[in-house]
Amino acid sequence: MPSGICKGCNRITNSTTSNWWFTKDNIPTECYVAWVDNKPVKGCAYNKINTKDKYSMISFYDNIIEGK
């Protein structure tokens, strides 16, 4: 999967954990998971995740952050 710098927070993210595929130029402007010192952390848009949506990806992102 491609990785790059999120425009929202200037941290490394990837196409699975950001809005990569929904941007015109495939450069993320929001991320749900970012990497700092090679460790996953909450991204700049993590708190915007709609947890009431039955299709929410929050458990997927939490598992990445927790190293599962």
| pLDDT tens figures, 25-44 | 999 999 999 999 999 999 99
Kindly give, in sequence order, each residue whose CB lies less than 8 Å from that of residue 50, ignoring residues fewer than 6 positions away.
56
Hey, what are 60's tokens?
């997927």
Q: What is the number of alpha carbons within 13 Å of residue 8 lying toward its C-beta?
A: 18
pLDDT at 4: 96
Question: 0.85 cut: is pTM over it?
Answer: yes
**Residue ranges in 1-68 assigned as alpha helix (H):** 58-66
DSSP label of 61: H
* Bridge partner list, 9: none
Q: What is the mean pLDDT of residues 50-63?
A: 91
Residue type, 9: C
pLDDT tens-digit profile of 21-30?
Answer: 999 999 999 9
